[in-house]
Amino acid sequence: MQQAQYQLIIVGGGPAGLTAGLYAARGRLKTLLVEKGATGGQVLVTDWVDNYPGFADGISGFDLIDKMTAHADRFGLEKKFATIKSLNLIGDLKTITLDNGEILTAKTIILCTGAKPRKLEIPGESEFSGRGVSYCATCDGPFYRNQEIAVVGGGNTAIQDALHLTKFAARVTVIHRRSELRATKILQEKAFCNPKIDFLWNTQIKEIKGDKNGVEELLLVHHGGDESILKVTGIFVLIGIAANNAILPLEQLRIDAAGFVITDEEMATNIPGVYAAGDIRSKRSRQIINAAGEGAVAELSAEHFLGNQAPDQPLNCSE
């Protein structure tokens, strides 16, 4: 049989992938982490993280990822920045084909491809994307200094980002389809107390309208069917996430109805030697701490699967 290049390949470099990488590097597995952009995933564009243990004063998403990356680097995690074209997870030798045609092989794989913002799928959304429609408050907030903007959604992301956007905008209107928020209570309290934030309850957006310069107004539908117009120059669509599964072989993996990968509590998928961790997993709570914890569990499962094989790496007496 063909020799595997790696004992473990981790696909994706967010908190789950970086933690799996840290554990694998410390476990002296011959490991590669493949990431298409910078490490960090969604956390990289998270303004502020206030619920990661050990950072009592909070920490920016950027700095948290910087620390996680440095931590894995300290133990020598090998990383490759490349776009994956396809994966074949069946058999003892898993193969990953990169966009440039290069083929990587490993005995075990941890899938940490994460998730991406969900879209409203309404008229005007794609037309004005990047011209008033945004999915990232940290990236685009400063463009809306002293302007009237809207946030759609009632979860943690929407409310945390609405608070962040008040640093720039004159007014932030949160549009939510129900009469109560899903966000954690401390965020709700902060938002209700913020004089720059208004709420439109039981309201959905029917259409985003504008001209060649960008968004001008939203056509809203209220509970009962009444319609109204809200004048804004920007709208942040923060209505949850969709699985980042485009590169995954969905015909091989067991997935849920929304396309997230199903695992057991050891992070094992239906395919021997293949694990999933972080937001790509089918689960209810998606927190950075969960992703990191699952990355650790997945790596320990991969180590267990590989068994007590002779270390592929030379003895290191420096640490």
Which residues are near ligand NAP by CB under 6 A?
51, 120, 152-158, 160, 177-178, 182, 204, 238-241, 285-287
Q: Check if 139 is active-site.
A: yes
CB of 136 to ligand NAP, least distance (A): 12
128 close to 214: Cβ distance less than 8 angstroms: yes
**In 3D, which of 161, 149, 158, 152 has the Cα closest to residue 183?**
158
By Cβ distance, which residue is nearest to ligand NAP? Answer: 155
User: Of 50, 92, 99, 139, which is the active-site residue?
Assistant: 139
What b/e string do you get for 2-23 counting C-beta neighbours within 10 Å, with b at 16 or more? eebbbbbbbbbbbbbbbbbbbb
Q: Check if 193 is active-site.
A: no
User: Of 47, 112, 140, 161, which is the active-site residue?
Assistant: 140
User: Of 112, 136, 161, 279, which is the active-site residue?
Assistant: 136
Q: Which is nearer to ligand NAP, 97 or 287 (CB)?
A: 287
Contact residues for 189 (Cβ-Cβ < 8 A; gap 6+): none
Q: Check if 112 is active-site.
A: no
| Rounded-to-integer distance, Cα 52 and Cα 37, Å | 24
Q: Which is nearer to ligand NAP, 252 or 287 (CB)?
A: 287
Q: In sequence order, what are the beta bridge partners of 230?
A: 218
Q: Which is nearer to ligand NAP, 9 or 205 (CB)?
A: 205
Q: Where are the alpha helices (DSSP H) in 27-126?
A: 61-74
CB of 55 to ligand NAP, least distance (A): 13
**Residue tagged 């007496």 (tokens):** 317
Terminal-residue alpha carbon distance, the chain: 35
Q: Which is nearer to ligand NAP, 12 or 153 (CB)?
A: 153
Looking only at the bridges linking them, the beta strands covering 103-111 and 94-98 are: antiparallel
Q: Which is nearer to ligand NAP, 59 or 104 (CB)?
A: 59
CB of 195 to ligand NAP, least distance (A): 22
Q: Could you list the active site residues?
A: 136, 139-140
